């Protein structure tokens, strides 16, 4: 406080007040908001647009993944809904199942 009062009575014009405590860019932004308020608004709008674009890109990325997994689940559900034909007697079932087994290879 003494330094501020000393400047007042020394005959020299007072200098700019010290920046308020906080983030380094806040003092400059405060000064700019007084001198050119439209500039601050333009910067804010630009920052918000950039943030919105980033969030939109992230949403699109997640939607793409979501659609992919929805399709995977739908494919699985369609396969599960296909009726499985089980023969009436167990012998016929074994014959049908064994028909799909490849014959053993002959060793030479």
Would you write out the chain's pLDDT as a tens digit for each of its 108 residues? 555 555 555 565 565 555 555 566 777 777 777 888 888 889 999 999 999 999 999 999 999 999 999 999 999 988 877 766 655 677 777 777 777 777 677 666
Quote the radius of gyration of the chain (alpha carbons, Å).
38
CA atoms of 27 and 15, how far apart (whole Å): 15
Alpha-carbon distance 55 to 64, whole Å? 14
Residue entry with tokens 């993944």: 65
Confidence (pLDDT) at 101: 75
Domain boundaries, the chain: 49-80
Residue located via tokens 């079932």: 93
CB 19 within 8 A of CB 27: yes
Contact 93, 87 (CB under 8 A): yes
């Amino acid at each position: 406080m003494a330094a501020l009062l000393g400047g007042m009575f020394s005959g020299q014009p007072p200098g700019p007040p010290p920046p308020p405590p906080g983030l380094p860019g806040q003092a400059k932004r405060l000064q700019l908001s007084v001198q050119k308020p439209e500039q601050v608004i333009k910067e804010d709008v630009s920052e918000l647009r950039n943030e919105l674009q980033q969030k939109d890109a992230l949403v699109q990325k997640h939607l793409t993944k979501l659609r992919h997994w929805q399709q995977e689940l739908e494919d699985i559900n369609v396969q599960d809904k296909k009726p499985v034909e089980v023969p009436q007697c167990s012998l016929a079932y074994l014959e049908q199942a064994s028909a799909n087994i490849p014959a053993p290879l002959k060793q030479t």
